[in-house]
Amino acid sequence: MNCKNCHTQLADEARFCSHCGAKVINTRITSKLLFQDFVNNFLGWDNSFFKTIKTLLIKPDLVITDYLNGVRKRYMNPFVFIALGTAISLFIFNAYSDEYMKSYEGVGNFYKELMVSLAGEEFVQSEEFQKSLQEQNEANRASAEFTIKYFNLMTFLFIPLYALISLLVFDRRYNFGEYIIITCYLQGLIMYFTIILFIISLYVNTSLFLYSFLLSIPYYLYTFGRLMKLNIFKLFLKLLLFVLVTIALAIVLIIIGALITIATQLIPQIF
């Protein structure tokens, strides 16, 4: 008998190819076999997907150090991990697009309640504030529509950005490429929990999932604390530096965007 993948000659009783490692399959595909494969490969707690999630929750540094040190079979590939999360997120957000849009109204409601406590009900009911609130709600809705439309593109554009910030803030023992791997794993796990919070918010409060980003702060600190062996004080300083670098890069990107916009408007007039 020969292997159907690499054509290496095998013993009749062989279950796996000694050359390429492929499983020897001599049975036809049936509905029962498909169901068994699905359960074993996707729902089994011991598969790489659930093993990756389980270990990232408890010992995120273990997944990262193992993968960077060459252990590639034990955990899901970081790019596949975050790509799968992106695909599921995009499907869920589009399936519940109305609820997703409505959740962004929670930002306006939070702002309104905050201003009531700071300035009073009379100020909130003023025509000027109501106009400002309406403009903000429209901007939030436009942001939600943009996010749904370009969610996958935004996800993969932010990966190198977060990796760059991490490289500037944390220990240089990891290079830029390694920080990309770290970012994929961390952002991927946060994305899965964002999906869960969004589904819960459909039955509890539509704006609940907007605060899921708060989960990323303690999780990032926990992970980098374990990776870099940092104490609470040093972690807090790194967090402040992370925020400052993020703001600085955001300002630079805004300036670049503004210059590009001005240039695109001036060039046709010149020529």
DSSP secondary structure of 139-181: HHHHHHHHHHHTHHHHHHHHHHHHHHHHHHHS-TTS-HHHHHH
Give the range of the structural domain holding residue 4, as residue numbers without chain letter.
1-31
User: In angstroms, rounded to a whole number, what is the distance separating the alpha carbons of residues 68 and 62?
Assistant: 10
Same domain, 200 and 139: yes
Give the H/E segment covering residue 41.
Answer: none
Q: For residue 262, is it within any domain?
A: no
Same domain, 20 and 71: no
Same domain, 11 and 82: no
Give Cα separations from 103 to 51, 122, 153 (angstroms). 32, 26, 21
**Rg for the chain, CA atoms, rounded:** 25
Q: Has residue 146 got a pLDDT over 80?
A: no
pLDDT of residue 104: 66
For 201-252, write each residue's pLDDT tens digit: 778 776 666 666 677 788 888 888 888 888 888 888 888 888 788 778 777 7
Q: For residue 151, is it within any domain?
A: yes
pLDDT of residue 45: 46
Same domain, 5 and 109: no
Same domain, 23 and 151: no
Q: For residue 43, is it within any domain?
A: no
Same domain, 119 and 27: no
For 169-197, write each residue's pLDDT tens digit: 887 789 999 999 999 999 999 889 888 88
Q: For residue 104, is it within any domain?
A: yes
User: In angstroms, rounded to a whole number, what is the distance separating the alpha carbons of residues 133 and 114?
Assistant: 12
For 82-123, write each residue's pLDDT tens digit: 998 888 888 888 888 777 777 666 666 666 666 667 667 776
Q: For residue 217, is it within any domain?
A: no
Cβ pair 8, 20 in contact under 8 A: yes
Q: What is the mean pLDDT of residues 147-153?
A: 77
Q: For residue 136, is it within any domain?
A: yes
Same domain, 11 and 58: no
Same domain, 54 and 140: yes
Residue 67: closest CA among 222, 227, 218: 227
pLDDT of residue 42: 54
Cβ pair 79, 183 in contact under 8 A: no
Number of compact structural domains in the chain: 2
Q: Has residue 168 got a pLDDT over 60?
A: yes
Q: Has residue 57 got a pLDDT over 60?
A: yes
The tally of CA atoms less than 13 A away on the side-chain side of residue 19 is 10
Query: What percent of the residues of the chain are helix, what percent strand, and what percent coil, each to the nearest 5?
Result: 75, 0, 25
Length of the chain: 271
Same domain, 94 and 167: yes
